[in-house]
A and B are shown apart, each in its own frame.
Chain A
Amino acid sequence: MSDHGTLSGMRRLLAADFARILHQTTGGKPTARLRRLMHLLLPAMQVAILHRTAHLLHGRGWRRSAALVADLSLRLTGASLHPGSRVGPGLFVPHPARVAFCATAGADLTLLPGTLVGPRDWVLPDQPFPADGPDLGDGAIVGAHAAIQGSVAIGAGATVGIAVCSLRDVPAGTVTMIAQRQVRSPRRPQGTIHGR
Chain B
Amino acid sequence: MSETAAGSDLCLARRSEAEPGRRLRWGEVRAALAADRDHWRRRGCGPAAFRRGYHAIWLYRLSRYAHERGWRMAAWLLWLVNGWWTGADIPPSSRIAGGLFLPQPYGTVIAGAVGRDAAFGIQASIGGLLKEPDQDIGGGPGLPVLGDDVMLEAGAIVLGAVHVGDRARIGPRTITLKSVEADEEIMPQPWRPLPGRNVAP
Which residues of A approach B to under 8 Å, CB–CB?
A: 74, 80, 98, 100, 116, 118, 120, 122, 124, 139, 145-147, 149, 155-157, 160-161, 163-167, 171-180, 194
Contact = CB atoms under 8 A, between A and B. Distances in A.
Contacts of A156: 200-201
A176 B192 contact: yes
Given A116-B122, A116-B172, A165-B189, A174 B153 contact: no
Given A98-B123, A149-B154, A180 B189 contact: yes
Contacts of B87: 74
B106 interface: yes
A15 B104 CA distance: 31
Given A74-B87, A165-B172, A176-B193, 7 more contacts: A124-B45, A147-B188, A173-B200, A176-B192, A177-B191, A179-B189, A179-B190
A163 B172 CA distance: 11
Interface residues of B toward A: which range? 20 to 34
Contact of B51 (A124, A146, A164, A179): A124
A160 B191 CA distance: 9
B73 to A, nearest CB: 27
Interface string B88-117: 000000000000000110110000000000
Contacts of B106: 74, 80
B32 to A, nearest CB: 22
A160 B192 CA distance: 10
Contacts of A179: 189-192
Contacts of A122: 103-104, 121-122, 154
A167 B198 contact: no
A174 B188 contact: no
Contacts of B189: 165, 178-180
B109 to A, nearest CB: 12
A147 B190 CA distance: 12
Interface in B162-176: 171-174
B131 A194 contact: yes
B197 A173 contact: yes
B1 interface: no
B172 A167 contact: yes
Nearest to A148: B172
A180 B45 CA distance: 38
B199 interface: yes
Contacts of A157: 200-201
A59 B28 CA distance: 44
Contact of B123 (A100, A174, A177, A194): A100
Nearest to A177: B194
Contact of A149 (B104, B172, B193): B172
A165 B200 contact: no
Nearest to A139: B201
A100 B155 CA distance: 10
Contacts of B51: 124
Given A124-B51, A147-B173, A156-B201, A118 B194 contact: no
23 contacts: A80-B104, A98-B107, A122-B104, A122-B122, A122-B154, A124-B103, A156-B200, A157-B200, A161-B194, A165-B171, A165-B188, A167-B188, A171-B198, A173-B197, A174-B193, A174-B197, A175-B193, A175-B194, A175-B197, A176-B193, A176-B194, A179-B190, A179-B191
A120 B198 contact: no
A3 B139 CA distance: 52
Contacts of A98: 107, 123
Contacts of B107: 98
Interface in B35-84: 45, 51
